[in-house]
Homo-oligomer: A and B are copies of this chain.
Amino acid sequence: MTTELRQTDQGRPLPDDRLKHVLYLLRLCRYFDERMEALYRQGRLPGAIYSGRGQEGTHVGVASALEPDDSLFPTHRDLSAQLTKGLDLNRVMAQYWGRIDGYLRGRDGNSHVGDWFGHRTFAVISHLPIAYPVACGAALAYKRRGDKRVAMAICGDGSTSNGRWHEAINTSSIHRLPVVWVVNNNQYAYSTPNTLEFGVPTIAERAAAYGIPGVRVDGANVLEVYAAAKEAVDRARSDGGPTLIESVSLRWRGHAGHDPAKYMPRELLEDHMANKDPVKNFETWMLAEGIVTAGDVEEIQKRVEGEFEAGFEFAQSSPYPEPGDVTKGLWVEDGYWTSEPGRGGGTEAS
């Protein structure tokens, strides 16, 4: 039941190649986020965007602690965690543009994505935090079967006010389920600040009410996040029960693309952007440690940009779903999801 702000771990918690991968992921998520917002502002991206900028340390950090077989139950804000889990950028982008090659075959948009059969991520549902209880169920299955697997769920600070949050954590505690509860405390729920969401200083301390360990980490430090998540995942995997992790950062952008976030104090944002940038922080450390050179970083950035362009092209050239398929696949026996989907004619933009 420790609740403490962890210090940056100055050692190397991961082999160099994995550290480089973390840097790649941070850069990828940041670039994706920026470019998608630009496209949204240009009116070239349909639907909504929910920026995870400033919170990449949290998302990349926690998801890096999972094995491929472990499952992840994210929200709208957590695309970076899904990308960390391994989702294919092409298919993610096809989803944003409503195309048949999206993971959900055009049936849902934006970050409401998931790839259960491949990377074991739950296709995001808006209602908050509705996947918390579902994560309990996956963890229950692992425990019952003796699988050494772990479920991880993420939600935001505001979601902790909801009854499902309490129910799921409480139930996981009673049955010591192998689950890791992550709260991405980005200090706001839409326009609502922490002070209007709960009456205690931290979320991590609430773990005591469930008799489980709670830890508060600095989301600006991906290694600190990773270390806490790894400990929690290991604990869960060795039948030590659930953990609550609060990772603190700031939502740098509005709630969604349309929100200018005028309610957020300018100084708070400026401080975070200047001093608590998880991408920059980690890059600086990597350079200082000599794990990467400036040239490596440039290369990573090039790779990221190339992947984004490729994803964009892929999405634009992927066809829309066949309108006649709209009613298919409600029932398993329709066979829609086990057969090739109809591809409905030409594309819009390319």
Contact = CB atoms under 8 A, between A and B. Distances in A.
B198 A173 contact: yes
A9 B207 CA distance: 33
Nearest to A241: B199
Interface string A166-178: 1100110110000
Interface in A196-212: 196-200, 205-206, 208-212
Interface residues of A, number: 24
B163 A167 contact: yes
A126 interface: no
Majority SS of interface residues in chain A?
helix
A55 B189 CA distance: 42
Which of A166, A208, A210, A211 counts the most B-chain CB atoms under 10 A from its CB? A166
Contacts of A208: 200, 205, 208-209
Interface string A211-226: 1100000000000000
Interface in A159-201: 161-167, 170-171, 173-174, 195-200
Interface string A137-178: 000000000000000000000000111111100110110000
B205 A210 contact: no
B209 A197 contact: no
A208 B196 CA distance: 17
B174 A197 contact: yes
B209 A205 contact: yes
Nearest to A199: B173
Contact of A170 (B161, B210, B211): B161
A240 to B, nearest CB: 13
Contacts of A166: 163, 165-167
Interface centre among A195, A198, A209, by most chain B C-beta atoms within 10 angstroms, is: A209
A121 B278 CA distance: 54
A252 B161 CA distance: 35
A10 B285 CA distance: 65
Nearest to A197: B174
Contact of A212 (B161, B162, B164, B199): B199
A81 B65 CA distance: 51
A200 B209 CA distance: 7
Contacts of A167: 161-163, 166
A195 B164 CA distance: 20
Nearest to A171: B161
A195 B170 CA distance: 11
A114 B211 CA distance: 37
A246 to B, nearest CB: 13
Interface of A: 161-167, 170-171, 173-174, 195-200, 205-206, 208-212
Closest 7 CB pairs of A and B: A163-B163, A173-B199, A166-B166, A209-B209, A199-B211, A206-B209, A200-B211
16 contacts: A161-B167, A162-B163, A163-B163, A163-B164, A163-B166, A173-B198, A173-B199, A174-B195, A174-B197, A174-B198, A174-B199, A198-B211, A200-B208, A200-B211, A205-B208, A209-B209
